[in-house]
Amino acid sequence: MPETLLEIKDLECPRPNGDPIFSHVNFSVREGDILIVQGKSGSGKSTILKCLSHLNIYRGEVLYRGKGPKSYGIPFYRTRVLYVPQRASLLPGTPRDFMSAVTSFSSYNKSDGGKPKKGKAPTIAHETIELAESWGIDEELWDRIWSNLSGGEMQRIALAIAVGMRSAEILLLDEPTSALDPDTASSVEEFLKSEIKRSESNLKALIWVTHSEEQGRRVGTRFTHLSSGGIREEDGDSIV
């Protein structure tokens, strides 16, 4: 039986006025899962990813390997359950600045309960640039400020950084290929699917928000629908 990585119990996210965006959200994520999240615009798909990465307030429980984010320390937790936003345009500086800052954080460099980290910062940077290059990103783009990159360039660079950091066991992907052409999207999809299966990879599962049913079917292993009343797996069962 694959190990359970995340357990979400009775999650509810309130709006500023107190009304919940969604409530009674229960599900778990196991090793090997590519969990597709679909739902109407405004149903809370981005919000649920932010709750899982502890970037949004919520009620209920989020457990990673049986423990809450605070017991790991939030910065460390976020390197393991890593949110990849739809748009990185609000970040200051360039992608290279961002990558240097992230790889210098102690939470990123901390080893996991004695388990040696695979890879070291200098080689990670090189691999990350190569990965982005395989998706059509020239190295010069790493030195351009985020807001001067196209939406598709931002998406590929943000994803390459998330994978290249090699710290995450779960990536929370918010429409990661929405700005990409079909061929590039397909190459990103194939890479992520193979990375989940590769035994030496730290990456063990994906939660993938997409509006495209076709994409969901191409990449997903489990299919869910989010609405204000909770989350349901495609067969209609609640997914605990």
Ligand X SMILES: Nc1ncnc2c1ncn2[C@@H]1O[C@H](COP(=O)(O)OP(=O)(O)OP(=O)(O)O)[C@@H](O)[C@H]1O
Least Å from the CB of residue 209 to ligand X: 7
CA dist 208 and 142 (Å) reads 25
Footprint on this chain of ligand X (rule: CB under 6 A): 15-16, 21, 39, 41-47
Least Å from the CB of residue 208 to ligand X: 13
Nearer Cβ to ligand X, position 85 or 95? 85
Nearer Cβ to ligand X, position 14 or 119? 14
Least Å from the CB of residue 44 to ligand X: 4
Nearer Cβ to ligand X, position 54 or 166? 54
Least Å from the CB of residue 124 to ligand X: 30
Nearer Cβ to ligand X, position 42 or 93? 42
Nearer Cβ to ligand X, position 55 or 63? 55
Least Å from the CB of residue 50 to ligand X: 8
Least Å from the CB of residue 133 to ligand X: 29
Nearer Cβ to ligand X, position 41 or 199? 41
CA 67 to chain centre: 19
CA dist 207 and 147 (Å) reads 26
DSSP the chain: -PPEEEEEEEEEEE-TTS-EEEEEEEEEEETT-EEEEE--TTSSHHHHHHHHTTSS--EEEEEETTB-HHHH-HHHHHHHEEEE-S--TTS-S-HHHHHHHHHH-HHHHS-BTTBPPSS-HHHHHHHHHHHHHHTT--GGGGGS-GGGS-HHHHHHHHHHHHHHT---SEEEEESTTTTS-HHHHHHHHHHHHHHHH-TT-S--EEEEE-S-HHHHHHH-SEEEEEETTEEEETTS-B--
